[in-house]
Amino acid sequence: MILVVGISYKTAPVALREAAAFTAESLPAALARLRAECGLREAAVLSTCNRVEIYGEGDPWALDAACRLLAERMGQTPAALQAHLFSHSGEAAVRHAFLVAASLESMVLGEAQILGQFKDAFRLAEDAGSLGPALRGLRDRAIQAARRARSEAGIGEHAVSVSHVAVELAKKIFGDLSGRSVVLVGAGKMCALAGQRLVQAGARATVVGGRTLARAEELATELGAEAAPLESLPSLLRTADVVVSGTGAPGVVLRRQDVEAALSARCGRPLFLIDIAVPRDIDADVAKLPGTFLYDIDGLQAVAAANRREREREAQKAFALVEEAVAAFVAWERTLQVQPVLVALRRRAEEVKQSELHKARRRLAGLTAEQEAAVEAVAAAIVNKLLHPPTAFLREAAARGGAADEALLAARLLGVDPAAGSAPSASATTAAVAAVPATAR
């Protein structure tokens, strides 16, 4: 059974999330403890700034043990931590994993980073040897569901942060931003975020300092840009494509007459101005000048809010896709209950077939290659026909749920040891996956 226990931004403050966080170096030992002490047969840990979650495959009682281990790591008692923990088992745990990977549980709906973090978490678990067929299947199908949510529902298409909105608006005005000139007036957090996104989109940046150049030079170094004093702003306006201003100054930094003077030297080229300062840096009358586009923080936030509403509408499609993927995974997971018996049955049948062929070859010495191939084909056909009814029966029982009793009975009737098939080979696992509906793959 798939299990998950953890904390997130929805249930715990940042101080608790920091205490629970795992580093890549600490994960192998933690995964080993989860399997050795908590009864999880498989384990993975997703640790980000917004969530710390333990995924496992095991019996339901293992959830309590995993909770205790997490509480111990955080320096808390399980009772004290209870209000901040969440846990799921079975189908609910699968659904949670799929929603997390698809960013439907994220603080920013549709953000792209979580899928990469989800992949990394399971890669580290794979490297530590703590994944088995159940969590590999969970990982693969969660990633597939997340990709469908992004491509078919489009939940990541609408910018929802102010800095991202600024870049998207710039692209609507100029198209490709490669080589475009961006002037950042001020070096605060909002300017830095907008500058990072614009530079990532291919723009060239100049950071204009205020009273001192020190912070401007520091940000310029981070962005691979140039720094310039505030006095150079009038000349920079003549060649800039985008101006982002966020100085925190008490009054207007960029007046209408400053922009008007620069427009005469621009030969009709558009100028996009973004005022993210409160109080505002740019004279509102600048928006009346021909060829200028001015957005203040309220305008950017209005666009972001509209985009968030659009993402929420698209998310309904994504939730439906996730539900479809969860149902397919649950059906596939049930086949794992009978897979050890099927693997042991196939192994035993192959052993009998090879033993009888060996005896036949001694009695029928001198067979040509064609004759020997014909004998082997007959033996393989008999084995496959004999194996088909019990295989179909067990898979049907797995699809209905609760196949454990049928699998045990079949093992006894057919004289095989299920433990011999408890670790399916890669080919056996592939065969099991091939039986899953296409929507699960």
d(CA 106, CA 9): 9
Which uninterrupted H or E stretch holds 56?
strand 51-57
Distance, in Å, from the CA atom of 5 to the CA atom of 86, rounded to the nearest integer, reads: 6
- E strands, 209-334, in order: 226-228, 242-245, 271-275, 292-296
Strand, helix or coil for residue 48? coil
Q: Tokens for 218, please give them.
A: 């520091």
Q: Which residues are catalytic?
A: 49
**DSSP character for 209?**
P
Q: How far apart are CA 435 and CA 432, in angstroms?
A: 5
Lookup: tokens for 426? 């890669």
Question: CB-based contacts of 82: which residues, under 8 Å, 6+ apart?
Answer: none
Cα 278–chain centre separation: 35
Query: Coil, strand or helix: which one is 113?
Result: helix
C-alpha closest to that of 181 among 244, 102, 98: 244
Q: Are 290 and 266 in contact (CB under 8 A)?
A: no
DSSP 242: E
CA distance 12 to 77: 15
Confirm if 245 and 274 have CB atoms less than 8 A apart: yes
Q: Report residue 200 as tokens.
A: 């990532």
Pairing of strands 242-245, 181-185: parallel
**Among candidate residues 231, 173, 242, the one with its CA nearest the CA of residue 204:** 242
Whether 207 and 233 have beta carbons less than 8 Å apart is answered as: no
| Location of structure tokens 């990982």 | 139
> What CA dihedral angle connects 430, 433, 434 and 436, to 10 degrees?
180
Please give the Cα distance from 134 to 144 (Å, whole number).
Answer: 15
Strands of the sheet containing 51-57, edge to edge, are 42-47, 51-57, 2-8, 86-89
